[in-house]
Structure 1
Amino acid sequence: MCRHLAYLGPPVTISELILAPEHGLYRQSWAPRRQRYGTVNADGFGVGWYAEDDPVPARYRRQAPIWADLGLTDLARVVRTRALLAAVRDATLPGADGEAAALPFAAGPWLFSHNGSVGGWPGTLAPLAASLPAEELLALPARSDSALVWALLLHRLRSGTELGSALAETVFDIAVASPASRLNLLAVDGARIAATAWGDSLWYLTGGTPTAGSTVVASEPYDDDPRWREVPDRTLLMATSGDVLLTPLKEPSA
């Protein structure tokens, strides 16, 4: 369980996306408006962003609640970016690995976040974990359900699977193994946003604040702009800075 947000568009400060909005991620850490599971996202936070002409994102993560980090305000005020993924975390199992488990995870050009939980964790995903090469399991960033979801997705990405297909296939395999899972996944590669709505809320906004010519994908709206649109459950979203495509996801029973 968590709240997360991705942005593509003209350069903006991190603050404009997560601190300044009336109902932004900062406030969602203790007062989310549309969260279906859990009420406080205080088990860490993270921000990943892309600097100009650098395909590999930078990250700032902490295991403390976002409101307890005094250094974030200055960082968020001065760092500008065209692409960002940020999250505040409500851990499936409290205390699991601290900052190492704070989202987003990262590898190469990709940033990743998971809003939800894996039902019956960890036993239900043991067969999927066993399908990964041993070196990939040993490289898990944390001992959490989200970290294994990330490893399953990353294996596909590194094998050449397109970003949207990789998310859809990962969700399908996990849903087969653990039908009670909630799998709102969010990934960014610097030029595209890919997300799944599977068990929790997901919204998108094109051309709204903080800047025109942008796309925001988020667990919930950070303001009351009427242009926010809710993504139907069991849907894959693919977006650029000016376009959003929604595709129904395959159900395990289909």
Structure 2
Amino acid sequence: MCRHIAYVGPEVALGKLLVEPPHGLYRQSWAPRRQRHGTVNADGFGVGWYAAGDPVPARYRRAGPIWADLSFADLARVVRSTALLAAVRDATLAGADAEAAAAPFAAGRWLFSHNGAVAGWPRSLAGLSRTLAPEDLLALEARNDSALVWALALARLRAGDDPGRALSDTCVEVAAAAPGSRLNLLLTDGATIAATAWGDTLWYRALPGGGTVVASEPADDAPGWREVPDRTLLTASGAEALLTPLKEPSDASVPAPPKEPRT
């Protein structure tokens, strides 16, 4: 399990959103208040943000816990942005991908994070992996469930789907192939946010001045935080947020996993 957050709005220092809040992402790395699976998010972290005049975001990712990185604390104090996506990671399975497995994942102007776990990974998504072009599989940043889920969503974005549809269709498709998965997905292009609540907590808040924060859990006890119901798509632009129920998946058209090899 992981914790993540996205923001779009007026320019703000990264630390104002990630470090300074009493229960912000920084503290959620060791003391989350609403995390249902796992207790410590120390298997890596990352933040992506947008600089003025450049649509392609920068990223800073590391394999260790966020609290042990003094360089990040210094960076967060001075770097300012109008949009960001950040996450702290609790790995589903052990692996050797290090910071490559830490969100946010990126492509072009997009930043993506997955809070949850794919049930039965990796076998459960073997069928869906065959729907991707070989070059997309070879380009995966890491060999974990989140990286493949991102590749599936990115394929939809590149085919012309809007962010909300790309996330919702990916979420439902993966849930059908791997029942019991937790699929809280988070996506931004620096101007809008799309997110799914599927199996874990998701909250949002319209901030004074016109910004919106979407996060796994509230960063403080200020009024205005609202919980997103489970099985819901959230889309936000500026201070406006729209909630759309997601349909439960059906087994129809889900690619079958490969057969077990004979012995």
**TM-superposed deviation, 1:226:** 1.8
**How far apart in 1 are the matches of 2:154 and 2:249?**
21
1:250 aligns with 2:263: no
1:127 aligns with 2:124: no
Unaligned runs of at least 5 residues, structure 1: none
Deviations 1:35-70 (A, max 9, x none): 010000000000000001111000000001000101
Task: Give 2:211's aligned residue.
Answer: 214
Contact 1:183-1:196 at 8 Å conserved across structures = yes
Contact 1:96-1:144 at 8 Å conserved across structures = no
1:228 aligns with 2:234: no
Task: Give 1:15's aligned residue.
Answer: 15
1:171 aligns with 2:180: no
Task: Give 2:258's aligned residue.
Answer: none
Counting only pairs closer than 5 Å after superposition, residues 1-254 of structure 1 correspond to structure 2 as 1-208=1-208, 212-253=209-250
| Secondary structure of residue in 1 paired with 2:116 | strand
Alignment-mate amino acid for residue 28 of structure 1: Q
**TM-superposed deviation, 1:242:** 1.4
**TM-superposed deviation, 1:74:** 1.2
Alignment-mate amino acid for residue 31 of structure 1: A
**How far apart in 2 are the matches of 1:36 and 1:136?**
32
**How far apart in 2 are the matches of 1:155 and 1:91?**
24
| Secondary structure of residue in 2 paired with 1:238 | strand
**TM-superposed deviation, 1:96:** 4.0
- Asked which structure has the greater CA Rg, the reply is 2
Q: Where does structure 1 differ by over 2 angstroms across 4 or more consecutive aligned residues?
A: none
Contact 1:115-1:182 at 8 Å conserved across structures = yes
Task: Give 2:261's aligned residue.
Answer: none
**TM-superposed deviation, 1:97:** 0.6
TM-score when normalising by structure 2: 0.94
**How far apart in 1 are the matches of 2:55 and 2:246?**
29
Unaligned runs of at least 5 residues, structure 2: 252-263
TM-score when normalising by structure 1: 0.97
Alignment-mate amino acid for residue 138 of structure 1: L
Q: Name which of structure 1's ranges 22-31 and 92-101 shifts more when overlaid on structure 2.
A: 92-101
**TM-superposed deviation, 1:94:** 2.3
**TM-superposed deviation, 1:27:** 0.4
CA RMSD, 1 decimal: 1.0
**TM-superposed deviation, 1:33:** 0.1
| Secondary structure of residue in 2 paired with 1:247 | strand
Contact 1:6-1:85 at 8 Å conserved across structures = yes
**TM-superposed deviation, 1:116:** 0.2
**How far apart in 2 are the matches of 1:136 and 1:253?**
26
**How far apart in 1 are the matches of 2:181 and 2:136?**
22
Deviations 1:62-110 (A, max 9, x none): 0010001010111111110000000000011123411110100000010
Task: Give 2:256's aligned residue.
Answer: none
Q: How many pairs does the alignment contain?
A: 251
**How far apart in 2 are the matches of 1:52 and 1:18?**
20
Alignment-mate amino acid for residue 188 of structure 1: T
**How far apart in 1 are the matches of 2:221 and 2:108?**
35
| Secondary structure of residue in 2 paired with 1:213 | coil
Alignment-mate amino acid for residue 234 of structure 1: R
Deviations 1:111-162 (A, max 9, x none): 0000000000000000000111100000000000000000000111111111
**TM-superposed deviation, 1:253:** 4.3
**How far apart in 1 are the matches of 2:77 and 2:212?**
21
Percent of residue pairs identical: 71
